[in-house]
Amino acid sequence: MISVVLIASAATLLAPVAGALGHRRLKPAAGARLMRIDAPDGIDEQGFVRIGGIEQWIPVRGEDRDNPVVLEIHGGPGASNAIHGPRTRPREEHLTIVRWDMRGTGKTLRRSGPDHQGERSFARVVLKSLWFSPLHSLGELGALGRGMKLSEQILPATAGFDDWADGTDFDLPFFILQGERGVLTPADRAERFLDDVRAPHKEFALIEGASHFASFRHPEQFLHLMLTKVRPLVTNHERAGAR
């Protein structure tokens, strides 16, 4: 009788795990089809680049090599943007996106190891994107989690960080596209910082109904702002340079 109970209990525990793993296999397969770039002038290249003494993962993707290039700098702790690829796929029709797993996160962490590394929305956006990412194996997903844990070591030092002291002069256009309900970076504080910025061009825009992870919770609003505010400035500059 005890053996029967133990076997039944084990089966009960394993069934949800098997179901979750099966779901994980199906969902990324659909995501991989979504992420496929077949355009003749498209680009889908990725690999490790040696930066600062370690190999760091950098993928470059877009439907047209002539589109403006955008370098995404992810947040922390160790929060790679690569997992959000399916959510932000429409951006690659208009922009060439360069993502980067910086020190202490994702594929960079898994490749180089920790010795060489230096909100509410979390469950619904980050964990969901993490689990269903078609661009990562289960082992790489584990590295993303370890990267966040590793980068927690620097959080106490960032509590007193002064953005103004780090500098407010920029030689390139400066944009803040901000969630209107942000609690980690309140909109009013971000706008006050922009007031003191000196740059060839600067703009501030709110993403309505968004807090943290605004560009991933509302990717369509973010893309609209990129296309109406950022892209025209870049393309006009390129045309002026060509004349």
User: Which residues sit opposite 82 in a β-bridge?
Assistant: none
> What does the block give as tokens for 60?
């470059």
Asked whether residue 11 carries a pLDDT value surpassing 80, the answer given is: no
pLDDT of residue 9: 47
User: Which residues sit opposite 174 in a β-bridge?
Assistant: 202
> In this structure, is the dihedral angle defined by the CA atoms of residues 228, 233, 236 and 238, taken in order, positive or negative?
negative
Q: What is the chain's mean pLDDT, rounded?
A: 82
> What does the block give as tokens for 94?
């208009």
pLDDT of residue 220: 94
What secondary structure letter does DSSP report for 169?
A: B
Chain segment 191-228, per-residue pLDDT in tens: 999 999 999 999 999 998 888 888 888 999 999 999 99
Q: Which of 130-144, 162-176, 219-233 has the lowest mean pLDDT?
A: 130-144
**Contact indicator for 102, 79 with CB cutoff of 8 Å:** no
User: How far from 57 is each of 102, 113, 195, CA to CA, in Å?
Assistant: 8, 13, 35
Chain segment 117-138, per-residue pLDDT in tens: 544 756 667 777 878 888 888 8
Q: Which of 49-58, 118-127, 169-178 has the lowest mean pLDDT?
A: 118-127
